[in-house]
Structure 1
Amino acid sequence: MQNYFFSSLALSLASLFMYCVGRVYHVYWHRPKTLEEYLRKQGLQGTSYSPFHDELKQMAKSTEEARLEPASLDHRIVQRVMPLLQQMVHKYGKVCLSWIETRPRLIVADPELIKVVLADKDGHYVKPPSNPLIDLLQLGVSTLEGKKWAKRRKLITPAFHFAKLKGMIPAFSMSCRDLKDRLMELTDSQGSCEVDVATELQNLTADVISRSAFGSSFEEGKKIFELQKEQAVLVLEAYFSLYLPGFSLLPTKKNKRRYYLDQQIKSMIRQIIRRKEKAMQNGESCTDDLLGLLLQCRGAESDMTIEDVIEECKLFYFAGQETTANWLTWTMVVLSMHPEWQDKAREEVLQVCGDRIPDIDKINHLRIVSMILHEVMRLYPPVAALYRHTCKSTTLGGLSIPAGVDILLPTLLLHFDPKLWGNDAGEFRPERFANGVSNASKHQLAFYPFGWGPRICLGQNFSTIEAKMALAMILQNFNFQLSPAYVHAPYTVITLQPQHGAPMILRRVQPSRSL
């Protein structure tokens, strides 16, 4: 009997060992190589799969090496921001093959094919699978799929209707005026000051969102933003690292910091929610902002939980603040590099708005300002690439794509493609947008700063109005130029931002022109 037991145990262990070996062979060799062969038979070129080659680490390394090089004061930033992707597209074509661990990834830099991916309504292309450490940044509507995404998107959309945004203008104006007053106080007897406008504009957008979207204080919102910025750095590190199942549960120093940040952010947002709920219970009108609308939906017929509301708040706090702050920062940097356009924009603002705070009607008449903001968004898009994943077999541009393939859409490469924008694609030329976005390039689908299709960014109008108002008020009151301390170093931490800030010298405009 004892011999039988040990024989059975040995056989079971041998079977388990063979199963594990078979699984490892299938996951780390057979399946990837089978997919590679299938894709290459269709004419795709690119890197070959190897279980010992980590393309994410190679991408991170090439980007770090590019950042060490001195940056020239121009707008040709692709080599610095995504050097490996630029090299691959140049070498293998606008649709090429790369690898993320054991998953094949298609780099798609063709505008027609990007449209097909972003316009998908049948669920062929979804958000790529992530790990729990990446999910800590936010799990709002942008991460949802299927019916749950459609329902959540429908619930949130009314918060961004024009009538709602128009009602937020007073909050926008108050925040912009506070920024102007703060900068005025910093100026010396000569009417000038040196300041890092990146920091000031981050404070501005934090204040705008805190007031207009959540009805909370600036200091409260600022603290949440600071915690989320730190979380974003840790999330990006987790993205570029090999993730093994269960690693998120290990009490490493960085994991403990990630979960601590998440708990602090959620705790602060939960306090804001409780105050809002109490105000609504007391009969106060609190449904004009995003949080009020979310809570109203939750109290009606939605299955949205408080945790869902918190995740939506995390998304809007991060995406709303980062996008607009960086957009305005790059705009001031670019206008400092091109003072003739700064003068044109100021002249238009003073002609349209005079010395008054711009209202929504005046903002809509700022044609040159709009052209400048669009061109800056082309050269310095907030997100350099978009990501999708095939959850079922599909076709793309005549290619048969199996399930389980990642899709990378490098929008930054599109924005600098000479075939789409001309040989001056790397130059600042706002006049491209004189006849609107659709006529700015040689291809109507070459400009995707806010995405496209059913998942286009809900907050784009919010961000655009905020950016126009803030830029108009800055132009009304200040001339600005780059400080000698400024280093032109665009880099990505989720969003595209200046690595060393944006120190500038601001000078008050003539008193007759100021607010």
Structure 2
Amino acid sequence: MEKFMLLKMFLSTIVVLVLGFCIHLYISLITNPKKLRKILRQQGIEGPPPKILLGNILEIKKSRADADKAVVTAHPHPPVIHNTATVFPFLEQWRKQYGSSYTFSLGKMQILYVSNPDLVKEITKCTSLDLGRPSYQQKELGPLLGQGILTSNGPVWALQRKIMAPELFMDKIKGMMSIIAESALELVNSWKYKVEMHEGGILDIGVDDYMKRFSGDIISRACFGSSYSKGQEIFLKLDALQEVISKKTLSVGIPGLRYLPTKSNREIWALEKEIRALILKVVKERQEAGYEKDFLQMLLESAKSSHFTSNSIDQFVVDNCKNIYLAGFETSAVSASWCLMLLASNPEWQTRVRDEVKEVFQGKIPNMDMLRKMKQLNMVIQETMRLYPPAPTLSREAFKDMKIGDIQVPKGVNIWTMVATLHTDTTIWGSDALEFKPQRFENGISGACKSPNSYVPFGFGQRVCLGQHLAMVELKLLMALIVSNFSFTLSPNYVHSPSFRMIIEPKYGVNILIKKL
């Protein structure tokens, strides 16, 4: 009898636990998302109706698949159209259907999409830590970014910014000039050799790998005291990890998916483990080599002074090494590829920049003061960043109920804005918004558009990219040296197809025909 009573109590406990779990799931997956949508709908914010558990993921995948089928790879290629909003066609389709502000769902996650310049301005001005990086990024992008500065929030983020920001101020960038110039000259000289060895003196070259090598070399040497070849394995594995994770980006709201031992998840787990081991190996070698005041040394000292445990120090260093590698390496390299594509397509601007380089540099290796005088080149880079912003979307999450503009945003809602849409909105930039016209920046950003807050290639607010000064110096110096040593046009092999893989990049790479001057 006693055993029967114990069994009954045990079964009752199991039933209560299962019932409690089911109720929790129901509230988390159905009740809460419905409640958030209702609050937004009562304010006139509509959107596509979601499906249970999946939200609008199936519609999104179909929209992207249809867009991929529409890409023309046969010859002759169609004219280049500078419209990177096409990487997320569903956002534009819904914007036309529901207006400048609407809501949609990724699984249980509710997204408030905004493209109204006034509302974007309110978001950029918000300094509250209660509007931070979406929590899903830390969960879903954890293998790639961990809890580094790109995904963390609150006091953890504030500490990391305090540590890293001074290392990327302009006075520190000035001290990196010799490294940047050396890496740029190495690339230019390798191209000279290849052109000279090629019959006819004109070479069809894919620039993307060269841009990655240049950017990676600078990050490795300036921040970690090693050459690109030493960090190459880390770069390659981070690139592979980014590729796998990017395919799962729009499935982030499906509960529990990241824990299942699927083929892609197993690949992610293996790469994460390998990358961690490689970074810690570099850290160990760096420590054994002796003291050197660089970014890596600064991370180690800061972690130790913050009284982290040994495991916490390792995690802190690994996460932020991955963050600086990805943010400083990938985005700069892709921006350089887009800039070369635009200069190759617009020979008159290539000539303008070349003439400016001759006038300012006068045959000397450029320094920071010379780069500051490069007005034409600066306009070209600003226009490149407008048409081809590295990050296609900017996102925030409300960690408490808050008001943004006229909208009451409930806790838990994610706010997205499409950078490419803001950068090509004809009401902001004029009827020529999809055209490459660097002259629009002749009087700065405020003179280029009606809403300067709508130009956000490096993000906005207190979460603006820490490495923006380094990125601009890299781009200016490299483009100046390439343009002054070569003339180049777009290769007939180039296929224009902006693609999303964590950032907006040329799906088939950038090919140009170069000739030594």
Structure 2 length-normalised TM: 0.92
- Matching residue within 217, 233, 236 for 2:246: 236
Question: Structure 1 residue 476 and structure 2 residue 477: aligned?
Answer: no
| Residue identity matched to 1:296 | E
Q: Take 1:157 and 1:9, find their aligned partners in 2: how far apart are those partners?
A: 56
Partner of 2:405: 397
- Matching residue within 69, 75, 85 for 2:91: 85
1:325, distance to aligned residue in structure 2 (A): 0.8
Partner of 1:119: 125
Partner of 1:136: 143
Question: Structure 1 residue 221 and structure 2 residue 231: aligned?
Answer: yes
- Matching residue within 290, 297, 308 for 2:302: 297
Query: Is the contact made by 1:133 and 1:258 (CA closer than 8 Å) also made in structure 2?
Result: no
Partner SS, residue 270 of structure 1? helix
Q: Take 1:102 and 1:469, find their aligned partners in 2: how far apart are those partners?
A: 46
Q: Take 1:405 and 1:179, find their aligned partners in 2: how far apart are those partners?
A: 46
Aligned length: 504
Q: Take 1:313 and 1:7, find their aligned partners in 2: how far apart are those partners?
A: 54
1:110, distance to aligned residue in structure 2 (A): 1.9
Query: Is the contact made by 1:36 and 1:48 (CA closer than 8 Å) also made in structure 2?
Result: no
Query: Is the contact made by 1:104 and 1:406 (CA closer than 8 Å) also made in structure 2?
Result: yes
Matches of residues 378-393 of structure 1 in structure 2 within 5 Å? 378-393=386-401
Query: Is the contact made by 2:83 and 2:424 (CA closer than 8 Å) also made in structure 1?
Result: no
1:68, distance to aligned residue in structure 2 (A): 2.0
| Residue identity matched to 1:478 | F
Partner SS, residue 122 of structure 1? coil
1:269, distance to aligned residue in structure 2 (A): 1.8
1:261, distance to aligned residue in structure 2 (A): 1.5
Deviation larger for 481-490 or 60-69: 60-69
Query: Is the contact made by 1:81 and 1:491 (CA closer than 8 Å) also made in structure 2?
Result: yes
Partner of 1:434: 442
- Matching residue within 374, 391, 416 for 2:424: 416
Partner of 1:485: 493
- Matching residue within 321, 331, 349 for 2:339: 331
| Residue identity matched to 1:55 | N
1:240, distance to aligned residue in structure 2 (A): 2.5
1:400, distance to aligned residue in structure 2 (A): 1.4
Question: Structure 1 residue 105 and structure 2 residue 78: aligned?
Answer: no
| Residue identity matched to 1:80 | T
| Residue identity matched to 1:51 | I
Matches of residues 306-317 of structure 1 in structure 2 within 5 Å? 306-317=314-325
Cα deviations across residues 230-289 of structure 1 (Å, max 9, x unaligned)? 1011111232236666554544432232122222222222222223223445xxxx21x3
Deviation larger for 139-148 or 110-119: 110-119
Q: Take 1:337 and 1:499, find their aligned partners in 2: how far apart are those partners?
A: 18
Cα deviations across residues 115-149 of structure 1 (Å, max 9, x unaligned)? 33233322221221226452111121111111111
Partner of 2:26: 25
Cα deviations across residues 203-236 of structure 1 (Å, max 9, x unaligned)? 1111111111111122122222111111011111
Matches of residues 7-406 of structure 1 in structure 2 within 5 Å? 8=9, 11-12=12-13, 14-51=15-52, 53-70=54-71, 72-78=78-84, 80-130=86-136, 132-139=139-146, 140-187=148-195, 188-241=198-251, 247-281=257-291, 286-287=292-293, 289-301=294-306, 303=308, 305-406=313-414
Query: Is the contact made by 2:54 and 2:254 (CA closer than 8 Å) also made in structure 1?
Result: no
1:90, distance to aligned residue in structure 2 (A): 1.7
Q: Take 2:98 and 2:185, find their aligned partners in 1: how far apart are those partners?
A: 51
Q: Take 1:251 and 1:22, find their aligned partners in 2: how far apart are those partners?
A: 26
Cα deviations across residues 379-407 of structure 1 (Å, max 9, x unaligned)? 00000101111110001112211111111
1:358 and 1:37, CA in 2 relative to 1: closer, same or farther beyond 3 A?
same
| Residue identity matched to 2:299 | L
| Residue identity matched to 1:137 | L
Q: Take 2:241 and 2:306, find their aligned partners in 1: how far apart are those partners?
A: 33
1:47, distance to aligned residue in structure 2 (A): 1.9
RMSD over aligned CA atoms reads: 2.1
Query: Is the contact made by 2:83 and 2:420 (CA closer than 8 Å) also made in structure 1?
Result: no
Deviation larger for 138-147 or 169-178: 138-147
Q: Take 1:471 and 1:144, find their aligned partners in 2: how far apart are those partners?
A: 34
Query: Is the contact made by 1:234 and 1:258 (CA closer than 8 Å) also made in structure 2?
Result: yes
Structure 1 length-normalised TM: 0.92
Q: Take 2:284 and 2:15, find their aligned partners in 1: how far apart are those partners?
A: 57
Deviation larger for 293-302 or 427-436: 293-302
1:161, distance to aligned residue in structure 2 (A): 1.6
Partner of 2:75: none
- Unpaired stretches in structure 2, ≥5 consecutive residues: 73-77
Q: Take 2:267 and 2:24, find their aligned partners in 1: how far apart are those partners?
A: 34
Q: Take 1:3 and 1:12, find their aligned partners in 2: how far apart are those partners?
A: 14
Q: Take 1:24 and 1:305, find their aligned partners in 2: how far apart are those partners?
A: 36
Q: Take 1:264 and 1:161, find their aligned partners in 2: how far apart are those partners?
A: 32
Query: Is the contact made by 1:357 and 1:473 (CA closer than 8 Å) also made in structure 2?
Result: no
Q: Take 1:53 and 1:276, find their aligned partners in 2: how far apart are those partners?
A: 46
1:508, distance to aligned residue in structure 2 (A): 0.4
Partner SS, residue 387 of structure 1? strand
Q: Percent identity?
A: 30
Query: Is the contact made by 2:234 and 2:278 (CA closer than 8 Å) also made in structure 1?
Result: yes
Query: Is the contact made by 1:355 and 1:476 (CA closer than 8 Å) also made in structure 2?
Result: no
1:153 and 1:53, CA in 2 relative to 1: closer, same or farther beyond 3 A?
closer
